[in-house]
Amino acid sequence: MSWKKDLMSQRLEFITLALTPGANRAELCRRFEISRKTGYKWLRRFGKDGAAALQDRSHRTLSCPMQTPSTVEAKVVALRTAQPTWGPRKLRRRLQDLGHAGLPAVSTVGRILRRHALIDPAEASKHQPWQRFVRTEPNQLWQMDFKGHFALQRGGRCHPLTILDDCSRYSIGLAACPDQQGRTVQERLQRVFGRHGLPEQILCDNGAPWSGSGEHTWLSVWLMRLGIQVIHGRPYHPQTQGKDERFHKTLDHDLIARNDWLDLPQAQRRFDTYRQLYNNDRPHDSLQLAVPADRYRPSPRSLPHQLLPIEYAQGTLTRRVKSKGEITFQNRFFYIGRAFIGFDVALHTTATDQLFRIAFAAITLGLIDLSQPNNRPKGFCFPMLPHSQKV
């Protein structure tokens, strides 16, 4: 993608990723479709003058009351007015990150907000910390889902597609989509993969387009061909995708509910600006008030230029998925799924006699148990997280 529009958001994204420890800057230049000379030019400018050097005006959340001499109370009130959903801890940390010295304790910031009627005690009591499972490294797991759609003044609806890194809480993607079709999701994912690389796993819910009637879809098969395992939360348990659900609530409070929306291009511009704020400015409670950009780094696995054919090691037992989504094995039919029609799947022996592991590329689909009368592989449709895990 060339830098012909949304210059600030794209340049800030490049700078953020290029400054992560161990970043392959040459590869990032390729992903952003710029020359190395251009990439290093913006890095030098940013290192000398900060974000202001990237464009005539900065999109970072800096306001005049925080830059001019004023009382500490005025600084707190000004930032709270700009970010009405941020609590005392976030406000204090953000002021600290902005270089303000002599800041009061968090409890004092809370009293300032109450004194100015900027905090509701009843609302504050609802915010209690949750204990959740967290991946240890960026790009091990991304959470992906559509937030509830909303109407546009010029017709149609906006369907926000959100992608969040489980470890760092970094907003990988925030796309203003016209619908929730598989082709739309694939197009947006290709852009995200081209910039951030490929994750190991993607966690989705059980609805379209990532699941169809309890089995894989062509979209999930495409992801598996890229070496990405698609996993799903248990039906009727949205808490499994708790981090992305929480991001939806934050997005709604911070942005969607506070604005009128004309059309998709306007929505995307606002989403891009909000991603920069969320990733680079907004302190995150679960990160000990660090920002997600401090914890995230791009994946070393790049999006291939084209999908390679599925190949298995020599001697691997394989079967072609037939026109009804089935394979034949040991004179019996086993249903794999219509999304796999025309592809070969592998059957691997296990430590248990008559129990075979069935895989597509390097991804395990389920088990075939020849000792059982049923002809449907166990767990063939897709793996799910245990009920007790909240991610």
Low-confidence residues of the chain: pLDDT under 50: 1-4, 56-62, 64-70, 125-126, 128-131, 378-391
pLDDT at 52: 75
pLDDT at 255: 94
Tens of pLDDT, residue by residue over 162-184, are: 999 999 999 999 999 999 999 99
pLDDT at 251: 94
Tens of pLDDT, residue by residue over 364-385, are: 888 888 887 765 554 444 443 3
Cβ-Cβ contacts under 8 Å for 262 (sequence gap 6 or more): 152, 153, 154
Residue with tokens 């942005």: 255
CA 306 to chain CA mean position, Å: 23
pLDDT at 212: 66
Which long-range contacts does 18-24 make (Cβ < 8 Å, 24+ apart)?
18/43, 19/43, 20/296, 20/297, 20/298, 21/297, 22/297, 23/297, 23/298, 24/298, 24/300
pLDDT at 239: 54
Return d(Cα 272, Cα 278) in angstroms, integer: 10
Tens of pLDDT, residue by residue over 123-176, are: 554 454 444 567 889 999 999 999 989 999 999 999 999 999 999 999 999 999
